[in-house]
């Protein structure tokens, strides 16, 4: 009988795990790549793939942020955040905001094309596939992360067509359907 990797033989309901194996298993779920932003005078940004739509009425999304990340306190202090969904042409941007040695504050955004969101003051990337400004609606505990629920206050989309994904520890690309503009503009 074959045994799945990371699962002890004879124990199909494994209750303990190696964090490295857990990370690899989580990595089997392909996700989009976003840049999460917060703060007005001292803006912050981070690359994140823990993002999802939650509700159409009211329009809501959620993000997950590590509790000891600087972004965490910035979102709590400003009660708002921005999310920019990256296109396949923005891998450099994803890597920039994931780099722990990048400059901080306004200098952090000098390397990318960004605008100040009209409602929250959060930076958004106008050439991203899509962007949202959100007011913080609720915060939930999620282990070592907080789950931030945001109500969308403005949104937009850029001209990029193909999505940047993260799968199995690497950036990947997903081609958009030829009629994607018809689908979004209903």
The predicted model gives 13-19 an average pLDDT of: 66
Q: Is 93 part of any domain? A: yes
Q: Which of 33-37, 68-72, 107-111, 174-178 has the lowest mean pLDDT?
A: 174-178
Asked whether the predicted pLDDT for residue 19 surpasses 90, the reply is no
CA angle 65, 69, 74 (to 5 degrees): 85
Q: What are phi and psi of 56, to 5 degrees?
A: -90, -30
- pLDDT, greater one: 14 or 163: 163
The predicted model gives 139-168 an average pLDDT of: 90
Q: Is 3 part of any domain? A: no
Q: Is 100 part of any domain? A: yes
Our count of domains for the chain comes to 1
Distance CA 81, CA 99 (A): 20
The predicted-structure confidence for 64-112, as pLDDT tens digits, reads as follows: 999 999 999 999 999 999 999 999 999 999 999 999 999 999 999 998 9
pTM: 0.84
Q: Is 10 part of any domain? A: no
Q: Is 13 part of any domain? A: no
CATH number of 161's domain: 2.30.110.10
Distance CA 38, CA 44 (A): 5
**pLDDT computed for residue 6 by the predictor:** 54
Q: Is 4 part of any domain? A: no
Structure tokens at 106: 């306004």
Q: Is 25 part of any domain? A: no
Structure tokens at 186: 């209903």
The predicted model gives 22-46 an average pLDDT of: 88
Chain mean pLDDT for the chain: 86
Q: Domain of residue 73: give its range.
A: 31-185
The predicted-structure confidence for 55-69, as pLDDT tens digits, reads as follows: 999 999 999 999 999
Q: Is 77 part of any domain? A: yes
């Amino acid at each position: 009988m074959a045994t799945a990797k990371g699962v002890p033989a004879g124990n199909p309901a494994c209750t303990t795990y190696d964090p490295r194996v857990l990370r690899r298993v989580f990595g089997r779920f392909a996700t989009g790549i976003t840049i999460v932003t917060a703060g007005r005078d001292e803006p912050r940004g981070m690359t994140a793939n823990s993002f999802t739509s939650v509700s159409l009425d009211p329009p809501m999304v959620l993000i997950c942020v590590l509790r000891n990340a600087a972004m965490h306190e910035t979102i709590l202090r400003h009660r708002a955040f921005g999310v920019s969904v990256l296109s396949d042409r923005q891998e450099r941007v994803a890597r920039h905001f994931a780099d722990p040695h990048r400059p901080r504050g306004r200098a952090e955004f000098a390397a990318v094309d960004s605008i100040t969101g009209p409602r929250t003051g959060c930076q958004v990337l106008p050439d991203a596939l899509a962007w949202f400004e959100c007011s913080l609606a609720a915060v939930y505990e999620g282990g070592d992360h907080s789950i931030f629920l945001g109500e969308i206050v403005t949104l937009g989309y850029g001209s990029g067509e193909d999505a940047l994904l993260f799968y199995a520890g690497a950036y990947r690309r997903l081609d958009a359907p030829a009629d994607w503009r018809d689908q979004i503009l209903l």
